[in-house]
């Protein structure tokens, strides 16, 4: 068979391969669009419900649009409780989540730099032990932590210890974390060592190399860790429910749970509170989205 006769067959095979690739890509796009719509529906229901009256919530379909925009639901939600406003819960969550995020960024970055760039005895063993803590369920350490905080003195609290204060919710973050250390260490290992060697030749010590070379280059990974930690602290319900005792010290998650128990059936006000509690996370992700995606990719955590 001549080469001229083989050309149409090769072209048909190439055409079939291209068609299969296009069909596969179209299937992937359809699946992604369907998944995106499935994730948007709960937010759409929450938004529309927050703008409805209570009669419309029970008389119309869940995702139907309200007849009018009832923004007064947000005002009712904000001043629903007699002693405190929803802004108090909002402020408490921002303070706790910000302190926990700051603590993780400071301590995990220093630990990750040490494990990535400094040679010392038992470095691999210590790093393996830190990673091993990731497989320990938090329910196992819940009771020991409560006992520890119960015996730690704090004269400013009514009980004389840390129980009833927000200290257990953020002080631990200043002692490092396994996930943040692992994430930043993977990013530091991807930075060329020649940069540190050049700074060392210029007379910089390890502390100066860390602050002036590695920290500026690690902004994407630091932004990724900040988003993760802020999200975990903001959405945490169990720990604030255990350690906080007074209504003015509650976070948004505990406040919403308390609001749900006190005002059963007030779905518009409850959805307004849930939507307001999501705003900081949405704003943080939109602002740091570029650094978040880059940090996930460069640190080796992509799927």
Q: Give the DSSP per-residue string, 97-120.
A: HHHHHHHHHHHHHHHHHHHHH---
Same domain assignment for residues 213 and 241: yes
By C-alpha distance, which of 93, 131, 122 is closest to 236?
A: 93
Same domain assignment for residues 123 and 59: no
- Whether 193 maps to a domain, the answer reads yes
Question: What confidence score (pLDDT) does residue 266 get?
Answer: 79
3-state percent helix, strand, coil for the chain, nearest multiple of 5: 75, 0, 25
Same domain assignment for residues 245 and 271: yes
Question: What confidence score (pLDDT) does residue 15 get?
Answer: 56
Question: What confidence score (pLDDT) does residue 296 get?
Answer: 59
Same domain assignment for residues 59 and 120: no
Mean pLDDT within 208-237: 90
Q: How do residues 32-72 score in pLDDT, each as one tens digit?
A: 899 888 888 888 888 888 888 888 887 777 777 787 888 88
Distance between CA atoms of 185 and 193, rounded to whole angstroms? 13
- Whether 145 maps to a domain, the answer reads yes
Same domain assignment for residues 34 and 81: no
Of the three residues 70, 104, 123, the one that is the final residue of a domain is 70
12 pLDDT more than 70: no
Same domain assignment for residues 152 and 49: no
Residue 178 has a CB neighbour count (10 Å cut-off) of 18
By C-alpha distance, which of 281, 293, 242 is closest to 101?
A: 281
88 pLDDT more than 80: yes
Contact 190, 260 (CB under 8 A): no
Same domain assignment for residues 114 and 179: yes
Same domain assignment for residues 27 and 98: no
- Whether 114 maps to a domain, the answer reads yes
DSSP 266: -
Of the three residues 70, 89, 106, the one that is the final residue of a domain is 70
Q: How do residues 241-271 score in pLDDT, each as one tens digit?
A: 999 988 889 999 998 888 777 666 778 888 8
Q: How do residues 93-144 score in pLDDT, each as one tens digit?
A: 999 999 999 999 999 999 999 999 888 899 999 999 999 999 988 888 999 9
Predicted TM-score of the model (pTM): 0.82
- Whether 201 maps to a domain, the answer reads yes
Q: What angle do CA 100, 163, 141 make, to 5 degrees?
A: 65
The strand pairing partners of 153, in sequence order, are: 161
Same domain assignment for residues 154 and 274: yes
- Whether 303 maps to a domain, the answer reads no
Same domain assignment for residues 121 and 211: yes
Question: What confidence score (pLDDT) does residue 210 get?
Answer: 93
3 pLDDT more than 90: no
Same domain assignment for residues 9 and 88: no
- Whether 235 maps to a domain, the answer reads yes
SS3 121: coil
Of the three residues 30, 50, 70, the one that is the final residue of a domain is 70
First to last CA, the chain: 47
b/e per residue 180-199 (b: at least 16 CB within 10 A): bbbbbbbbbeebeeeebeeb
Same domain assignment for residues 267 and 176: yes
Distance between CA atoms of 53 and 271, rounded to whole angstroms? 12
DSSP 263: S
Question: What confidence score (pLDDT) does residue 6 get?
Answer: 47
DSSP 154: -
- Residue 205's domain is classified under what CATH number? 1.10.3720.10
Tell the residue number behind the tokens 């740091």, with chain if given.
Answer: 288
Question: What confidence score (pLDDT) does residue 87 get?
Answer: 87
DSSP 287: H
Question: What confidence score (pLDDT) does residue 42 get?
Answer: 85
Q: How do residues 134-189 score in pLDDT, each as one tens digit?
A: 998 888 899 999 999 999 988 777 778 899 899 999 999 999 899 999 999 988 99
What's the total number of domains in the chain? 2
Give the residue numbers spanning the domain of 153.
Answer: 74-298
Distance between CA atoms of 293 and 258, rounded to whole angstroms? 36
């Amino acid at each position: 068979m001549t080469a001229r006769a083989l050309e149409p067959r090769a072209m048909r095979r190439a055409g079939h391969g291209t068609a299969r690739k296009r069909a596969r890509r179209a299937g992937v796009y359809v699946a992604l669009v369907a998944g995106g719509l499935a994730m948007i529906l709960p937010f759409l229901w929450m938004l529309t419900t927050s703008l409805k009256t209570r009669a419309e919530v029970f008389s119309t379909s869940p995702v139907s649009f309200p007849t009018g925009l009832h923004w007064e639901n947000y005002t009712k939600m904000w001043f629903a409780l007699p002693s405190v406003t929803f802004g108090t819960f909002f402020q408490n969550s921002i303070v706790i989540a910000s302190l926990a995020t700051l603590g993780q960024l400071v301590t995990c970055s220093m630990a990750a730099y040490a494990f990535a760039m400094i040679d010392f005895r038992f470095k691999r063993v210590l790093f393996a032990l830190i990673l091993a803590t990731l497989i320990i369920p938090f329910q196992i350490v819940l009771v020991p932590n409560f006992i520890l905080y119960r015996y730690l003195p704090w004269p400013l609290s009514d009980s004389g210890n840390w129980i009833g204060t927000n200290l257990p919710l953020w002080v631990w973050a200043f002692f490092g974390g396994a996930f943040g250390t692992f994430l930043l260490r993977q990013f530091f290992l991807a930075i060329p060592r020649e940069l540190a060697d050049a700074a060392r030749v210029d007379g910089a010590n390890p502390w100066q190399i860390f602050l002036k070379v590695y920290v500026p280059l690690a902004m994407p990974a630091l932004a990724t860790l900040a988003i993760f930690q802020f999200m975990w602290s903001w959405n945490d319900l169990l720990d604030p429910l255990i350690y906080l005792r007074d209504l003015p010290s509650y976070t948004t998650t505990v406040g919403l749970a308390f609001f749900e128990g006190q005002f059963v059936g007030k779905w518009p006000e409850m959805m307004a509170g849930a939507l307001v509690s999501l705003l900081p996370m949405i704003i943080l992700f939109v602002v740091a989205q570029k650094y978040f995606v880059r940090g996930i990719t460069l640190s080796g955590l992509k799927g």
